[in-house]
């Protein structure tokens, strides 16, 4: 007799509820969720309480920087507060993870603007749902010349969002603001073989070839 | 500049704490933990509180059946309480997951005894640390003939535990108890090709061959 995995019965409703919770996380199935739950059951009560309280505290006490919308412990994040960062270079990214990825390179000294998503009619995300208006407001109040680096995903949604933001910034530029809009270089990833690079990337890196620097 | 992953800085201490918690789960690295945490951050407060409260409730309110040590919502689990199960067939397993795996087959109508581990000198687990004494006590109070099915892992530790339990039960048998000790059939798994079966399994299934039933 074959029982499909969904029919699996748990010996306790508490166990079943906890498995439901973990299984709601991205990429976690019911078997993995059960593994996590049985691990927690082996811990002592203090450790499980600490786990639960940390999650509650995160959700209740976390702030989002009201300048760049990055996650923060204060009203303004440490990057926006820093005097060592170049506040006239603003890198526009989709998520907090992108900020962390760029920070990890140690090569960028400007500030950020986290959109919290990209325009995607398929997922019902319109320009109003993400932090584009606040980017425009932020640039409108800048007195000096600013560079905006578009660092969104290289997908159709990313390109759409890039184009939409560029159109909005064009209005500011026509009103006399000095804004330079750039985007991350696209091409063959460092360390990749030509033969394993996809056609579109290869064609574009051929079209956008640059002068050889010795 | 290459920064090793451990050096990654989180923009918030709350975020970092939550990542630490999830990264303590088995098989979860810091990248996966961050993915879980950012998912929780996107949920509303009620859902995160529900997640945290479910974990606390699980740890504080869960019971272990005092007969078979399976997880349960009551003092005695539903399997041990059931009148439809054969209480003279006791299947000895390592963990709660093994009970669920056997229950899922729908082919077993006896009861269980969950050891909560197997004897492993390497991991410092001695016979006193697992529920062997309670198994012996449970069998000592049985008046009628009992079958004990040893369903432990087919590893050296599993074999050691099987042997230890058998020795303990022998003492009961010599004292006049009627106990039949069996173990799960070992051999080539259903659906497996001979050529991909390991040597030891193949040699043993040859040695333990059985009459062909048409």
* DSSP-assigned beta bridge partners for residue B113: B92
Q: How many CB pairs under 8 A join A and B?
A: 166
Give one DSSP letter per residue of B91-104, joined into a string.
EEESSHHHHHHHHH
Q: Which residues of B touch A130 (CB under 8 A)?
A: none
Interface of A with B in 66-125 (CB under 8 A): 70-73, 77-79, 95-97, 99-100, 103-107
On whether any CB of chain B is under 8 Å from the CB of A45, the answer is yes
Q: Which CATH class is domain B11-61?
A: mainly alpha
Average confidence (pLDDT) over A188-212: 80
- Kindly indicate the confidence band of residue B187, based on its pLDDT and cuts at 50, 70 and 90: confident
Write down the domain spans for chain B: 11-61, 82-188+195-206
More confident residue, B2 or A34: A34
Mark yes or no for CB contact A37/B59 under 8 Å: no
Fold of the domain built from segment(s) A84-207: Dna Topoisomerase Vi A Subunit; Chain: A, domain 2 (3.40.1360)
Q: Which residues of A touch B96 (CB under 8 A)?
A: 11, 38
For position B157, what pLDDT does the model report?
Answer: 92
* DSSP-assigned beta bridge partners for residue B146: B179
Average pLDDT, chain B: 88
Residue B24 phi, psi dihedral angles, 5° rounding? -80, -10
Is B82-188+195-206 a domain of CATH 1.20.1250.20?
no
Average confidence (pLDDT) over A81-102: 92
For position A8, what pLDDT does the model report?
Answer: 59
pLDDT digit string, tens, across residues B167-183:
999 999 999 899 999 98
Q: Which residues of A touch B1 (CB under 8 A)?
A: 105-107
- Kindly indicate the confidence band of residue B126, based on its pLDDT and cuts at 50, 70 and 90: very high
Nearest CB to B18: which of A54, A73, A105? A54
Mark yes or no for CB contact B55/A12 under 8 Å: no
Percent of chain A past pLDDT 70, that is, above it, reads: 96
Q: Which CATH class is domain A5-61?
A: mainly alpha
pLDDT digit string, tens, across residues A40-56:
988 889 999 999 999 99
Q: Which residue in chain B has the smallest CA separation from A37?
A: B55
Mark yes or no for CB contact B57/A97 under 8 Å: no
Mark yes or no for CB contact B17/A54 under 8 Å: yes
Nearest CB to A18: which of B58, B95, B100? B58
Measuring CA to CA, how many Å separate B141 from each of A95, B88, B136, B146, B172?
63, 12, 9, 11, 10
Mark yes or no for CB contact B54/A17 under 8 Å: yes
ipTM attached to this prediction? 0.77
- B71-108 as b/e, with b when 16 or more CB fall inside 10 Å? bbbeeebebbeeeebeeebbbbbbbbebbbebbbeeeb
Q: Which two tokens stand for residue B92?
A: 């000895």
On whether any CB of chain A is under 8 Å from the CB of B10, the answer is yes
On whether any CB of chain B is under 8 Å from the CB of A57, the answer is yes
pTM of the shown model: 0.76
Q: Is the pLDDT reported for residue A211 higher than 90?
A: no
Q: Is the pLDDT reported for residue A15 higher than 60?
A: yes
Nearest CB to B11: which of A58, A60, A71? A71
Q: Is the pLDDT reported for residue A37 higher than 90?
A: yes
- Min Cα–Cα distance to chain B from A99, Å: 9
For position B8, what pLDDT does the model report?
Answer: 58
Q: Is the pLDDT reported for residue B22 higher than 90?
A: yes
pLDDT digit string, tens, across residues B33-82:
999 998 998 888 999 999 999 999 999 988 899 999 999 888 899 999 99
Mark yes or no for CB contact B61/A32 under 8 Å: no
| Rounded Cα gap, residues B63 and B76, in angstroms | 9
Assess contact for B102 and B91: CB atoms under 8 A: yes
To the nearest 10°, report the CA torsion of B105, B106, B107, B112.
90
3-state secondary structure of A32: helix
């Amino acid at each position: 007799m074959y029982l499909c995995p969904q029919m699996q019965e748990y010996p306790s409703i508490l166990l079943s509820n906890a498995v439901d919770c973990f299984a709601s996380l991205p990429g976690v199935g019911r078997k993995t969720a059960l593994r996590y739950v049985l691990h927690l059951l082996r811990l002592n009560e203090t450790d499980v309480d600490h786990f639960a309280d940390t999650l509650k505290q995160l959700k209740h006490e976390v702030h989002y920087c009201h300048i760049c919308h990055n996650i923060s412990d204060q009203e303004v994040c440490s990057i926006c507060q820093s005097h060592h960062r170049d506040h006239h270079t603003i890198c526009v990214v989709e998520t907090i993870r992108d900020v962390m990825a760029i920070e990890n390179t140690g090569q960028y000294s400007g500030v950020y603007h986290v959109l919290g998503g990209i325009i995607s009619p398929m997922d019902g995300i319109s320009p109003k749902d993400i932090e584009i208006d606040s980017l425009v407001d932020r640039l409108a109040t800048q007195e000096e010349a600013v560079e905006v680096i578009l660092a969104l995903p290289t997908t159709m949604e990313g390109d759409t969002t890039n184009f939409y933001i560029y159109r909005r910034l064009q209005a500011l530029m026509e009103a006399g603001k000095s804004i330079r809009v750039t985007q991350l270089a696209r091409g063959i990833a460092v360390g990749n073989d030509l033969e394993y690079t996809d056609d579109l990337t290869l064609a574009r890196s051929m079209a956008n070839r640059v002068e050889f620097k010795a």
